[in-house]
Amino acid sequence: MQKISFDVRGIIETMIALLAGIAASSILILMYGYDPLAAFYWLFYGGFGSLESLLDTLGYATPLILTGVAFGLCFKGGIFNVGVEGQAYMGAIGAIVFGGLLPRLFPPLAPLSLVLALTGSLIFGIAWALPPALLKAYRGVHEVISTIMLNWIAYNFVMFLVRGPLVNPSRPEMSISVVESARFSVVPGSAVLTSAILVSLAAAVLTYLLLTLTRLGFEIRVTGSSIDAARYSGVNYRYIVIVSFVLSGALSGLAGGLVITGRPPVWALYGTLGNIMNIGFDGIGVALIGRSNPLAIILSGVFIGGLWNGSRLMEPYSGVCSELSRAIIGLIVIALSVPELLRRISRAMRR
Amino acid sequence: MLNRSLIAALAAFAAILLLFEYMGISSVKLVDTALLAMTPLALAAIGEVINEKAGVVNIGLDGILLIGATLGVYGAELAGNGYFGLLFGALIGAVIGLIHGVLSTYGRADQVVASMGINIFAYGFVPYFLMAVWHFPGIRVPPREVLAPLWNIPLGSSYFVFSEITFASIILALLLNLLLRKTPLGLWIRAAGESPEAIDVAGIDVYKVRITTATLGGLLAGLGGAFMSLVWFKGVVKEISAGRGFIALACVVASGLDPVLATGFAFLFGFSEAVAYTFAVTPGIKETIPYYFVFTIPYIVTLVVVTVMIGKRRFPRALGIPYRKE
């Protein structure tokens, strides 16, 4: 059983990585003649500057916390599930099919449609995580390759669905929406925050408890630290790979489902997939900044959610393209990959 | 053994081409598109083979292709010359590879995390760069005169479209194969991946070997990216890499770290891409199979081929593991 403790050194190292990412991106901003101070002012003001923006940030964080926990859970077990992106796309489709299409075809099901939508997103997410799980467990196919291929297959398949069979006849730029009863209630004063955030928080806490208190969680962590040690201590490696992937796929699918059931105003997927794209890839950043600890991931999810939210102000007010926020995340991840360097810097700073 | 499977592969390929001819699809067009699609995959894969032989994994190939494609166009417009653009893309790729190499050796980084960071960075940096430099979101079509040429070789009633870069990448695969097998440098590279302790004791700097291969790997991926924008697609969009960096990784693992075989797989995946492009415009097929399904073909083929090939492969013992110098 793991004791709950604050990893002070880890927090300091993460802060250094965040600062390194911001410093490096300032250089990028300066190189093209923009003002980094203005860019970061609007980025952080837009993300965290007022109560309203803070609420919107929590809205953007809602699926990011889940994709972060999904990636982090696998990462704890030594699995690099970059398929969170595609699993989330499929989860969104699951929500639309079970929470939009089904209740409209069978109106008596309407009161259950939120449960149906979330169940659909879980099933679709798991279904998309199973092939890479089985390929890794039984054939040794590296999950980075299989999951990225499945991401692209999901991308094309979902584009086909939202522009074809699932298109909204009256608004062809998006898919059909989930029915009213499959929508989380909107928090007053916010444009995007709904009670769906409670689902994300609960999932993060449950995953934390799973990892720290249960035998399965222990076995996942042992497998992550050393496959050989896990095998010697009697852990069934294939079982751990498959279970980790299934849980991760369920969380990713749920993330996609919450983009549909928990984000106003459209409650649907855009035909460009613009409102879901990158939630998986940014979830990798969320997980790594949160050091794969589900409770810390809640905070890092809010941080990245703030970057998403703030970048909408950064673009019009400072001229810096909103996608720069993704470059910042990438630089932070690169900085986080060199723990020894961070350790040295933090030691030097304390002296 | 190898000859027999080579003959079987060629026979199967000829049968597939005949089948397509029967369906009314020109095999000349298929093969020349396949060779174009092969080139960025092969360049990135060959570089990564050498890199992984020395013990360093770089899953950031997709990001390097993307940045190479974008900066290649920038360089070409700057100098007014497509070849300079190719060189510029390659040099930028080399710089990224060098950084990854230094992080993986002196920084003792988690190589998978670091190189995934390269991908995430590229997916954000490229749209930012397109907007900052050309003030237009997501796409840049350079003037025709700064592109690198594609040669049209008359063949019967049509043309066989060909780039010398494709030819160069095949020659390069053969040369690097020789380098790995027959030269002292090749021995050091293989030893850096199999038993870094041994060459460390022998007085060879493991870090220098690994940084060199990582830089070479980045250089070739950057060239592959610039090839896509300056030779093949004649422009750049922010999604131009479309997962090709990961398909290149699939070539690497399916080949079991053999540059020539990796190029063969690059051709196979390039061919499946050519089939997808052809299906998307062929009357009779484009009406029956939705466009989006056709575009999953290369990814499905990659997944299947890796699954079939992976069982027989073994990889360097110290692959992906940071080495601490004595």
Structure tokens given for B170: 């095949």
Q: Say how many CB pairs under 8 Å bridge A and B.
A: 154
User: Is residue A291 a part of any domain in this protein?
Assistant: yes
Report the pLDDT value the prediction gives residue A197, as an integer from 0 to 100. 97
Residue with more model confidence, A10 or A169 = A169
| 3-state SS string for A170-210 | CCCCEECCCCHHHCCCECCCCCCCECHHHHHHHHHHHHHHH
Question: Would you tell me how many other CB atoms lie within 10 Å of the CB of residue B167?
Answer: 12
User: Is residue A2 a part of any domain in this protein?
Assistant: no
Report the pLDDT value the prediction gives residue A228, as an integer from 0 to 100. 87
**Closest among A224, A125, A151 to B243, alpha carbons compared:** A151
Q: What percent of chain A has pLDDT over 70?
A: 98
Report the pLDDT value the prediction gives residue B22, as an integer from 0 to 100. 85
User: Is residue A8 a part of any domain in this protein?
Assistant: no
- Is the pLDDT assigned to residue A74 strictly greater than 80? yes
Nearest to B116 among A82, A156, A339 (CB): A82
User: Does the beta carbon of B304 lie under 8 angstroms from any beta carbon of chain A?
Assistant: no
Alpha-carbon distance A228 to nearest alpha carbon in chain B (angstroms): 14
A-chain residues near B296 (CB < 8 A): 152-153, 156-157
User: Is residue A175 a part of any domain in this protein?
Assistant: yes
pLDDT digits (tens, 9 = 90+) for A277-288: 999 999 999 999
Report the pLDDT value the prediction gives residue A334, as an integer from 0 to 100. 95
What's at B247, amino acid-wise? Answer: I
Report the pLDDT value the prediction gives residue A1, as an integer from 0 to 100. 39
Q: pLDDT category, A6, cuts 50, 70, 90? A: low
Alpha-carbon distance A253 to nearest alpha carbon in chain B (angstroms): 21
Stretch (H or E) spanning A328: helix A324-336
| 3-state SS string for chain B | CHHHHHHHHHHHHHHHHHHHHHCCCCHHHHHHHHHHHHHHHHHHHHHHHHHHHCCCCCCCHHHHHHHHHHHHHHHHHHHCCHHHHHHHHHHHHHHHHHHHHHHHHCCCCCHHHHHHHHHHHHHHHHHHHHHHHHCCCCEECCCHHHCCCCEEEEECCEEEEECHHHHHHHHHHHHHHHHHHHCHHHHHHHHHHHCHHHHHHCCCCHHHHHHHHHHHHHHHHHHHHHHHHHHHCCCEECCCCCCHHHHHHHHHHHHCCCHHHHHHHHHHHHHHHHHHHHHHHCCCCCCCCCHHHHCCHHHHHHHHHHHHHHHHCCCCCCCCCCCCCC
Report the pLDDT value the prediction gives residue A121, as an integer from 0 to 100. 98
Report the pLDDT value the prediction gives residue B2, as an integer from 0 to 100. 64
Please name the residues in contact with A99: beta carbons below 8 A apart, sequence gap of 6 or more: A113, A114, A116, A117, A118, A120, A178, A179, A182, A257, A260, A261
Residue with more model confidence, B5 or A254 = A254
Report the pLDDT value the prediction gives residue A2, as an integer from 0 to 100. 46
Domain that holds residue A284: 39-350
B-chain residues near A327 (CB < 8 A): 120-121, 124-125, 128
- How far, in whole angstroms, is CA A231 from its chain's centroid? 30
Instruction: Give the mean pLDDT of A70-99.
Output: 97
List, for chain B, all residue ranges whose pLDDT scores fall below the cut of 70. Answer: 1-2, 312, 326
B-chain residues near A159 (CB < 8 A): 292
Interface list for A 162-221 with B (CB within 8 A)? 163-164
Instruction: Give the mean pLDDT of A2-6.
Output: 51
B-chain residues near A149 (CB < 8 A): 243, 246-247, 250, 299-300, 302-303
Q: What is the C-alpha to C-alpha distance for residues B158 and A264, in angstroms, rounded to an integer?
A: 54
Q: Residue B293 in contact with residue A124, Cβ under 8 Å?
A: no
Model-wide pTM > 0.90: yes
User: Does the beta carbon of A34 lie under 8 angstroms from any beta carbon of chain B?
Assistant: yes
- Is the pLDDT assigned to residue A3 strictly greater than 80? no
Q: What percent of chain A has pLDDT over 90?
A: 89
Does domain B2-312 sit in CATH 1.20.120? no
Interface list for A 95-134 with B (CB within 8 A)? none
The interaxial angle of helices B259-281 and B27-53, nearest 10 deg, is 140
User: Is residue A105 a part of any domain in this protein?
Assistant: yes
How many degrees, rounded to 5, is the angle at CA B238 between CA A326 and CA B69?
110
Alpha-carbon distance B256 to nearest alpha carbon in chain A (angstroms): 12
Residue A177 Rama label (left phi>0; alpha psi -120 to 50; beta): beta
Q: pLDDT category, A71, cuts 50, 70, 90? A: very high
User: Is residue A6 a part of any domain in this protein?
Assistant: no
Domain coordinates in residue numbering, chain B? 2-312
User: Is residue A145 a part of any domain in this protein?
Assistant: yes
User: Is residue A78 a part of any domain in this protein?
Assistant: yes
Q: What is the C-alpha to C-alpha distance for residues B192 and B186, in angstroms, rounded to an integer?
A: 10
User: Does the beta carbon of A334 lie under 8 angstroms from any beta carbon of chain B?
Assistant: yes
User: How many structural domains compose chain A?
Assistant: 1
Q: Pick from A64, A152, A272, A286 the residue to mutate for testing the B interface (most B CBs within 10 Å).
A: A152
Burial-class residue B222 by CB neighbours within 10 Å (0-12, 13-18, 19+).
buried
**Closest among B262, B292, B229 to B38, alpha carbons compared:** B262
Q: pLDDT category, A233, cuts 50, 70, 90? A: confident
Residue of B nearest to A78 (CA): B112
pLDDT digits (tens, 9 = 90+) for A314-349: 999 999 999 999 999 999 999 999 988 888 887 887
Burial-class residue B313 by CB neighbours within 10 Å (0-12, 13-18, 19+).
middle
CATH of residue A327's domain is: 1.10.3470
pLDDT digits (tens, 9 = 90+) for A148-196: 999 999 999 999 999 999 999 999 999 999 999 999 999 998 999 999 9
